Homo-oligomer: A and B are copies of this chain.
Amino acid sequence: MPYDPSAFPPFAVTVDLVVLTVRRHALCALAVRRGEQPFQGRWALPGGFVRADEDLAQAAARELAEETGLRAHDPSAPAQDNGAHLEQLATYGDPKRDPRMRVVSVAHLALAPDLPAPRAGGDANSARWAPVEELLQQGGYGRDGEPVAPLAFDHAQILADGVERARSKIEYSSLATAFCPPEFTVGELRRVYEAVWGVALDPRNFHRKVTGTPGFLVPTGGTTTRQGGRPAQLFRAGGATLLNPPMLRPEV
């Protein structure tokens, strides 16, 4: 027996993506330019409708692939391949968040290593990495002087929630490695923490902490000098996903 459609109001369900990466020592998010009303021409988070036969995580992975070409890897196999970390963030359902109709958006958070360039349907002008600081401040401007903020809909709130999730989660998990290429040095990992938290960390104490946590980093044997200075050991992310004790975010 089919369910009575009059018993509940109809909703549209979308997924929106907070895709974060670290570029030039700054935490950046992927923004796309809206081609339609409402908020035409304004920047927004990438996203789209969930299809009829699709799970929420599948829809988010599909959107992520469409916007960035990234594969999302299974949450149970973190940082194994160079796919991005993808997790559900929160759901936003204010009746007035979309002026057209009732839309509930299930936001997802994706963390990716530094990527060559965004691609959105081949139109380079319609997608960009922007520092979250610019996207979140009132009337933010990009380096080219073009206004990038405020974001459309409630996307500033969604982005802020995603950034806060990332900031707190790298404290007690090995998630920061999701911002790094498959092989990375301790210094590169430290610069990820510094960019995400916006603080400076002591290189010696950081080195002691991460190399002293069993299962966090696995040496690959290689070294690199791509950061200049003395050659640094290369590591892969180890199996440990929980950092205990956690990395402490310095108090202001």
Contacts and interface: CB of A to CB of B under 8 A. Distances in A.
Contacts of A110: none
Interface in A30-86: 49-56
A11 B9 contact: no
B56 A104 contact: yes
Interface string A85-124: 0001011111100001110101000000000000000000
Interface string A1-42: 011010111111100000000000000000000000000000
B88 A13 contact: no
Contact of A55 (B9, B10, B53, B95): B95
Contacts of A95: 52-55
A106 to B, nearest CB: 5
Given A3-B100, A100-B2, A91 B56 contact: yes
Nearest to A98: B3
Nearest to A105: B91
Identify the 8 closest CB pairs spanning chains A and B, nearest first.
Answer: A9-B52, A56-B93, A3-B100, A8-B49, A91-B91, A11-B13, A10-B10, A3-B101
18 contacts: A2-B100, A3-B12, A7-B49, A8-B13, A9-B51, A10-B10, A10-B11, A11-B11, A11-B12, A11-B13, A13-B13, A50-B104, A54-B95, A55-B93, A55-B95, A56-B91, A56-B92, A56-B94
